Structure 1
Amino acid sequence: MSVLTTKEIMEIIPHRHPFLLIDTIEELVPGLRAVGKKCVTFDEPYFAGHFPGEPVMPGVLIIEALAQTGAVAMLCQDEFKGKTAYFAGISNAKFKKKVVPGDVLVLETEIIKVKGPIGVGKATATVDGKIAATAELTFAIGSGE
């Protein structure tokens, strides 16, 4: 059973279709970690051009999905409710496996450092227990206005 539904995720982060890249949150420890899921379907808008005849989820969107998962972990805390988490950096991104229609992408982001409104998350995306992508994500919490 999911901890947060798509509707509940949209109450926390501002992303909407077609840019909301997580379907559910399966595990959540506010301010520390979140595990999300994205069911990748053939109808994703980016598959029309990436790549015709061989659809592959763009790596940058996998990283964005991981960032959205981390944003949920941070923004569900009382002190950050109603704010927005902005990208401030991506380090050591590695892509190990193609993500294709039919895959269930499991997105785990662990917050490893926070100083004021700036933080860092260690992020891992997997499909069927195999690593698809990893990265270290830096974010800045802004006003959201």
Structure 2
Amino acid sequence: MDDIFDPGLLRENPRQMSAATLAFLGDAVYELLARQKLAVTTIPAGKLHRMAIGMVCAGAQSQAYEVLEPLLTEEELAVLKRGRNTHPSHTAKNAKVADYRRATGVEALFGYLWLCGRTARLRELFDAVCAAAESASAAPAQAE
């Protein structure tokens, strides 16, 4: 039986896919990484859901864009910017347009990397985003 999570099952070339399609898939990849990170904690399940939402919302992904941009190769940066420049099919309900567009870029990048089978690179980039977020949340506590 084939592994249903094998990105090779999708026979399309990721470079030829629309940025919106990459973002559609990348949204799920990013959320799965967030949920996986949270699942190893001892936090009650009800709180885990709220924490996951906080990690994958447009505002958090917009901040992730800022962390990721200097870490990317030219190829990855091109995908990030192509996703950012995609014209959304709907308006962001709870996000600024600029945040929503940067979040779409992050999602497109994660979809692209997953389809290319670059799971180690996905983990590396996601870990960098998490480290930056943890550092930012710890900074105000240290200042007090």
Structures share fold, TM-score greater than 0.5: no
Decide which structure has greater helix share: 2
Q: TM-score range by the shorter chain?
A: under 0.3
Higher relative contact order (CA 8 A, sep 6+): 2
Decide which structure has greater strand share: 1
Task: Say which one has the larger Rg.
Answer: 2
